[in-house]
Structure 1
């Protein structure tokens, strides 16, 4: 079985290192820069639970066109990067192969199997993913795993190890089962979900309450006690997102402890959100997937989002400034 990890950074590198160490499949990785050079030279390794695992992949490249057709492609790229790889990703997939997207927030394929309304403009502005790749090959994924790139070629795993997989149709498809079995065998907790969108809402409640505010303030969620008031803003964003989910048919209010999410335990290991890591590194953020699309759904459903309406323009402005500096 040929498997490609497309975007082998912190999260993708964790996954790739475990699969390489297990040796049940021919693993290729798509990476870039110094990280790619280190993988080619020494291999890709994961520090976890007091041990180091990994090894050299079958191939490591920054050009997916160099790879043969793959039976499974696992994507751990951030949402803003996905439209630009629609065509090379399609060419990388063998017939009947699956593209498993482990991304934060609302995914571009959300409407597939629900109302067939096409791609979401905030996440796939020109419809490239919907048109060039097509949602039929998609498996959805939700990750609970805290990781960081310690140095080129080495990923450190801090906490959590859950990788939920689900078909957008809600079926327990053979390709979803096969992906789950592959990851489980490599030491990853990878259950198959019959409602992957529900799992995405549950993760989004945490992301929407933590990521934007940590990026704006530069304070890790685990240190919010040093700045009273952040938790209250977080609570508003989470509560509004819960109402949006309810309006769209996923009523998770009674089982969601909003106060606990908005006020994380102090000193928690791995408390630096992905958006905080992105803004510190000068990388574009997943603003639309985590916040913008929630507001868009709210507008469609007639749900008021006063807190999100304040935070979203600030996040878009910060993201625009980061992109301008990168382009300049």
Structure 2
């Protein structure tokens, strides 16, 4: 069986290593830039929280750039999409060439997926067929990734790429690595054959990933959205890790406000969702988790664009559609927009002088400046 992992960041690297260690399939990694160069130079190395070191010398022919993947035209049986949601559209050209008539596409990303309100996934409701600008701004995702090929996925993988991009570190115990899968095109009481196929890819993996099934995958995805719109976004803005956010009175209070607003949005949807998480659950989940750095915080610290539109932006846009007020979410979205814009300007300043941020003197890196139109 041929499997591709598109996007080898914190999540993609851990998933790719788990798949490679299981040995159930030939795994192709699609990356770009310095990340791809590091993979070609060093291979894929993962250190678990328990201290175990796993190294995989991936053959060069299975390490592809986005352009090489687009030119290959070689369809795979399963494609895991682990890019940031904001990069999904730009990855479409390569993704389309990896997908054949019987390929399963498993988007393992944060936020609301583009198919969330597809007629087959959410039949017979007032919001069936709704397309959100924040999750599919051009409509290309809906047009070019056939809904019947998609498996719904909620990924709980806490990985971080080491600064020199030579290794990946797991941020929590291996037994907490989980994928929850659902087949929105074939809803039923038990896992479909498609879900069983994907679960089998992780059998006997040295880096364990537990795969479970949930028939109501849309509700599970929204549960996950509660987490990322609250603790993930607050961590990025405050630069505090998960433990610091929930152990701070103001952090906890803001988290509760955000979860209350997001839950109100979920409760206004038709067809309805059945959420299983609330603010207390999320706080208990992350209480004392010092050092656990969620993805938005990692991106903010690295000056990368933040995965905000499909998470916070989707909730704000959806709230406007269903008539729910979300003042806290709106403020968080505005602040994340400003943070993203400032990071982009700093990156542009460094690129103009052929410098990385690390190369700039503190007085320049931290200065306030304007970019002339």
Q: Which TM-score applies when normalising by structure 2?
A: 0.81
2:255·2:279 contact (CA, 8 Å) conserved in 1?
A: no
Contact 1:45/1:155 (<8 A) preserved: yes
> What per-residue deviation string (whole Å, max 9, x for no partner) do you get for residues 229-255 of structure 1?
121111100111112112221243xx4
Structure 1 partner of 2:63? 60
* TM-aligned CA deviation for residue 125 of structure 1: 0.9
Out of 265, 268, 283, the position equivalent to 1:247 is 268
For the pair shown, the structure with the greater C-alpha radius of gyration is: 2
Aligned to 2:107: 101
**Unpaired runs of at least 5, structure 1:** none
Q: How many residues align?
A: 326
Bigger mean CA offset, 130-139 vs 69-78:
130-139
Q: Say yes or no: does 1:292 pair with 2:313.
A: yes
Kindly provide the CA deviation profile for residues 83-115 of structure 1, in whole angstroms up to 9, marking residues without a partner as x.
Answer: 112232111112210111001111112112225
Q: Residue 274 of structure 1: CA displacement?
A: 0.9
- Measure, in 1, the Cα distance between the counterparts of 2:288 and 2:135: 34
Aligned to 1:306: 327
Q: Give the whole-Å Cα distance in 1 for the aligned partners of 2:294 and 2:44.
A: 23
Work out the CA distance in 2 between the residues paired with 1:321 and 1:134. 36
Equivalence for 2:39:
39
Task: Give the match for residue 371 of structure 2.
Answer: none
Superposed structure 1 runs of 4+ greater than 6 Å apart: none
For the 8 Å contact 1:18–1:53, the answer to whether it is kept is no
2:165 pairs with 1:162: no
Structure 2 Cα separation of the partners of residues 71 and 191 of structure 1: 20
Measured after TM superposition, the shift of residue 327 of structure 1 is 4.5
**Equivalences for 1:1-328 in 2 at 5 Å?**
1-48=1-48, 49-58=50-59, 59-63=62-66, 64-67=69-72, 68-112=74-118, 113=120, 114=122, 117=129, 119-150=131-162, 151-159=164-172, 160-169=176-185, 170-171=187-188, 172-186=191-205, 187-224=208-245, 227-248=248-269, 249-252=272-275, 255-262=276-283, 267-328=288-349
Give the root-mean-square deviation of aligned CA atoms.
2.2
SS in 2 for 1:183: coil
Contact map agreement 1:184 1:190 (CA 8 A) in 2:
no
Hey, what's the Cα distance between the residues in 1 that align with 2:145 and 2:246? 45
Per the alignment, do residues 52 and 256 of structure 1 end up closer, same or farther by CA in structure 2, a change over 3 Å counting? same
Which digits, 9 at most, give the CA deviation of each residue in 1:62-88, with x for residues without a partner?
131354221111011110000112232
Structure number with the higher strand fraction is 1
For structure 2, list consecutive stretches of 5 or more residues without a partner in the other structure. 350-373
**Deviations for 1:127-163, whole angstroms, at most 9, x for unmatched residues?**
1111122323211211112111124241111212111
SS in 1 for 2:133: coil
* Structure 2 SS opposite 1:73: strand
